[in-house]
Structure 1
């Protein structure tokens, strides 16, 4: 017997043996389960067909020689024969095309039922009911709702007490820290904190009106500490000359110009949840799975932590 055929038989035997041991050793084994039986039958067929095809073509490469008319073109002396498309290949190709059209039109049409589609529809209905039921909730009830949503969605990164877990995420018990202020001043920001494209320029676009020059490293250090220290201490003059024009004298921002950097607001938090945020620590993803009321509630809760 040719060694190639012998090796094919050996490989088939080994693979079928491994399949049997795998299924037989699993909990329940076959035990008449039609699903398992069909799976094993498919595995056996796949093994036999694969080995047969490999052996056939390896053997063909060993003994067959090409013949026929060459195409006119060649590449570095390597030509190609004018071979007809193999009948079997052509038939399989056409059958696959027919099956594909049947699958998408009749067997499983694009607009047919799907579990994902049903889930999305159920979520949409639930969100609609939720927003109708809680649309008028305000005050402490809104804060309580926000705390619940925070513990379900945000505590993984920010911690149960919203302290940022030792720098893994922002500490939400204070508006902003020195590192974040410095990062934004030096690199600018375009995080849609106002809900729209209102980018803050980097340091090359920040002019200190008191000196008439671009902000310096020393001024950045000083004003960063000033903002992080709740708008107090040294640096008030730098803030007034460089930042107040957009963020306001008290740092609470100006409508449609710049966000508050003195305190959190429900709108500010909601915009971060809607658009995400990139800062000194890294990138916070947006939370599309939260509806508008849930975002507002989280904003109310975060704002309450800073009072």
Structure 2
């Protein structure tokens, strides 16, 4: 006599498990599901044989097909590099003006320049090229050494006050501590600030205009809009690199700060410098 229990309502044998009077029916799995399960096991075995999958002590099994994701990635990179060779050769052979005039070549140069910028220039100028205290914003129209393609290329290639490059930009604002009286420093600072903002003392700003004409126009010009060929900034555009306000201007007059930018030509090569030039020019501030 069988001791197995059969459910009275369904007529199906139970498994013998019971929870609070509830018994589990011993229904068989659907045949299609069982065969699918067996198929997945066979697939897994076949996959483990065909592809690298089983970890060993120092490595993994290589698989009969010899597949390698690293080798596949390297092949993709090599193909991409080969496709880029034609464009890079054209960039190397053409001037920045010719590159900028060719739409396809310009797009390629901007993409390459953007990549090079993130690696080499973003630490100082920021990932968005907006600069920061002491580091110029490359998106605006304020260019110390000129914002056309040739000027940008020269600056990137040879740097600013970079002693290791004989063609680097060189200019230094003299310290006026021993040239101007303290009152004159405050006056000319007030005048410079008054070009774009309301000074604290209009009378002092008026007096500072003459101090400016006597001491500053040689570099900054009579209109105070600067001279790019000398690296003298425009003082009438409300863009301040070393700090804004009359006190900050006075400190710069008395003890000027001079930034240094490395020359990138020797490190990156002329082709990448051209790509950077086109990219920076494309940000919107280039002239």
**How would you bin the TM-score normalised by the shorter chain?**
0.3 to 0.5
Q: TM-score, normalised by structure 1?
A: 0.33
Output the TM-score relative to the length of structure 2.
Answer: 0.35
Which fold has the larger relative contact order, with Cα–Cα distance below 8 Å and residues 6 or more apart in sequence?
A: 2
From the two aligned structures, give the one with the greater helix fraction.
1
Indicate the structure (1 or 2) with the bigger Cα radius of gyration.
2
